[in-house]
Structure 1
Amino acid sequence: MSLHPSLQSYADAWTHSIEAISELVQPLVEGEWNRRTPCPAWSVRDVVSHVIGLDCEMLGDPRPIHTLPRDLYHVTTEHQRYMEMQVDVRRHHTAPEMTSELEYTIIRRNRQLRNESRQPDAKVRGPLGTEITLEQAMRNRAFDVWVHEQDLRWTLGRPGNLDSPGSVIVRDQLLAALPKVVAKDAGAPANSAVVFDVHGPVEFLRTVRVDADGRGTIDGAPSLGPAVSLGLDWETFVRLACGRVHPDAVSDRVKAEGDPELAAAILRRLAVTP
């Protein structure tokens, strides 16, 4: 394979998750494609349409020429409009059409990955006409398909793969967002620390430290006397950080110690996916 070694983990994670998605949706009857998922406002069909659409963009396919209906009240930003286009254009596709296009897209993407010889810093098309590196694009796809695989698993009652290759990529991306969540979004005071103690299939203990200037950093060292300590399982952490559930709905699965107002503010602002 000619794929650059630093891209291999993203390719492996994408492959694992996309094949799991294919396996999950292959046996679904028509009505099950309309079931609502934890991904806000999207059905099973919508989630799979989104996955297909973004992988088609990785293949260089032109974006669909399509006008969104005016009654899509969950679409309020340009980023949402961009993402919704690939979804809405497939909203009337049948189950066989969906599974066929998914399988064909997987075949094409696997071929593309086998023949991929570009360097990780090569520029490729990103959302809204932006340019991003190939490494960032592949990392985004690995993140995206793992989270959407979990959306489908939660909806269909088929739990699993919480510790699959994509989970490590998702963990690292979510951890990188925590300093901003704690220091800026939740307004943790200067010279304070917040501990995240996550257990389950993916485990980690991380401390977000806010310096005298209000800037946040994250490390793996424990903190003595943190302002807040949050203990929760990996699945709940993912659902909160990806905006799949309101903190009140999982309060029994989160152990919060310390300043209750700051803890509540962090949990409210924990959703970091667009």
Structure 2
Amino acid sequence: MSLHPTLQPYADAWTHSIEAISELVQHLVEADWNRRTPCPAWSVRDVVSHVIGLDSEMLGDPRPIHTLPRDLFHVTTDHQRYMEMQVDVRRHHTAPEMTAELEYMVIRRNRQLRNESRDPGTKVRGPLGTELTLEESMRRHAFDVWVHEQDLRTALGRPGNLDSPGAHVARDVLLDALPDVVAVKAQAPRSSAVVFDVHGPVEFLRTVRVDIQGRGTLETVPALGPAATLSLDWETYVRLACGRVSPTAAGDRVKQEGDPDLTAAILRHFAVTP
């Protein structure tokens, strides 16, 4: 394979997750495709449609020419409208049509990855005409597909892969967002620290330190006398950070110590996915 070593972990994570998704939906009856998922307003069919759409755009396929209905009240932003297009265009597809398109897309993407020889810094097209590096594009994509695998597992009652390659990519993506959550959105006091203690299939202890200028940085060194500490399991961390559950609904799974106003503000702004 000619894939750059920097990109290989993201290709491996995508492969693991997409194969899991294919296995999950392969033999679903029609009614199961309409089950609600934790992804707001989306069914199993919608999530799989979204995954197909993401990968078709990674392949460089043209986006569908389609007009969204006016009664999609969960669609309120340009980003949501962009993402909804690939979903709504498949809303009336049958189960065989969905699995066939998914399988064909996986074949094409595997071929693309086998032949990928571009440098990780190569600029590629992103959502809404944005531009980003190939490395960041593949990283985000591996994260997205793993999160949607978890959406499907929750909807279908088939838990698993919380410690898969995609889970470790998700950990790094979500940790990158923590300083902004704590220092900017939650407005943690300057010269303070907030500790996150996560246990379960993926475990980590991280500290967000806020300096005198109000900038947050992520550290692996535990803080002495932090302003707040949040302890929770990995699955709850993911569901909160991806907006799959509200802080109120997950309250009994998060142990909070320190400043209650600060912990409440952090949890209120914890969701970082669009």
TM-score w.r.t. the length of structure 1 is 0.99
- 2:236 aligns with 236
Q: How many pairs are equivalent?
A: 274
Q: Which residues in structure 2 correspond to 1:194-213 (within 5 Å)? A: 194-213=194-213
Read off the aligned partner of 2:169 and give its amino acid letter. Answer: I
CA apart distance, 1:140: 1.1
Q: Which residue of 2 aligns with 1:144?
A: 144
How many angstroms apart in 2 are the aligned matches of 1:184 and 1:133?
A: 26
Deviations 1:165-207 (A, max 9, x none): 0111100110010000001101111111100000001000000
2:95 partner amino acid = A
Post-superposition offset of 1:126: 0.7
Amino acid at match of 1:81: R
Q: 1:251 offset after TM fit, Å?
A: 1.1
Cα distance, 1:38 vs. partner? 0.3
Task: Work out the CA distance in 2 between the residues paired with 1:246 and 1:82.
Answer: 24
Partner of 2:256, secondary structure, is strand
Give distance in 2, aligned partners of 1:85 and 1:192: 43
d(CA) in 1 for partners of 2:211 and 2:3?
Answer: 41
Q: Match of 1:192?
A: 192
What residue number does 2:162 align with?
162
Counterpart in the other structure of 1:62: 62
> C-alpha distance in 2, partners of 1:224/1:123?
42
- For 2:108, give the aligned amino acid: R
Specify the alignment match of 2:262 in structure 1: 262
Runs of 4 or more above 3 Å deviation: none
Q: Offset at 1:121?
A: 1.1
The residue aligned with 2:31 is 31
Shift of 1:4: 0.7
Per-residue deviation, 1:252: 1.1
Equivalent-residue separation in structure 2 for 1:95 and 1:131 (angstroms): 34
Question: AA paired with 1:175?
Answer: L
Quote the Cα distance in structure 2 between the aligned partners of 1:238 and 1:42: 18
Structure 2 gap ranges (5+): none
What amino acid is aligned across from residue 2 of structure 1 in structure 2?
A: S
Partner letter of residue 126 of structure 1? G
Match in the other structure for 2:107: 107
Unmatched segments (≥5 aa) in structure 1: none
Match of 2:16 in 1: 16
User: In the aligned structure 1, how far is the partner of 2:141 from the partner of 2:189?
Assistant: 35
Distance 1:249 1:226 in 2: 25
Q: Which residue identity is paired with 2:43?
A: S
Cα distance in 1, alignment partners of residues 233 and 267 from structure 2:
14
How far did 1:124 drift? 1.4
Aligned-pair distance for 1:122? 1.3
2:4 corresponds to: 4
What's the CA shift for 1:130?
A: 1.6
Aligned counterparts of 1:53 and 1:120: Cα–Cα separation in 2:
22
Match of 2:87 in 1: 87
> What residue number does 1:76 align with?
76
Distance 1:167 1:265 in 2: 26
**3-state DSSP class of the match of 1:6?**
coil
Q: CA deviation at 1:131?
A: 1.7
**Aligned residues: CA RMSD:** 0.6
The equivalent of 1:253 in structure 2 is 253
Q: Quote the residue 1:174 is aligned against.
A: 174
| Alignment-mate amino acid for residue 50 of structure 1 | H
Who is 2:117 aligned against?
117
Distance 2:14 2:244 in 1: 21
Percent identity over paired residues:
81
Where 2:195 maps in the other structure, the secondary structure is strand
Give the Å deviation of 1:79: 0.7
TM-score, structure 2 normalization: 0.99
In the aligned structure 2, how far is the partner of 1:43 from the partner of 1:186?
32
Matched, 1:130 2:158: no
- Local SS of the residue matching 1:139: helix
- 2: CA distance, partners of 1:243 / 1:18: 22
Aligned residue identity for 2:271: A
Deviations 1:24-72 (A, max 9, x none): 0111110111111000111100000000001001111100000001111
Using the TM superposition, give the Cα deviation of residue 136 of structure 1 relative to its aligned residue in structure 2, in angstroms.
1.1
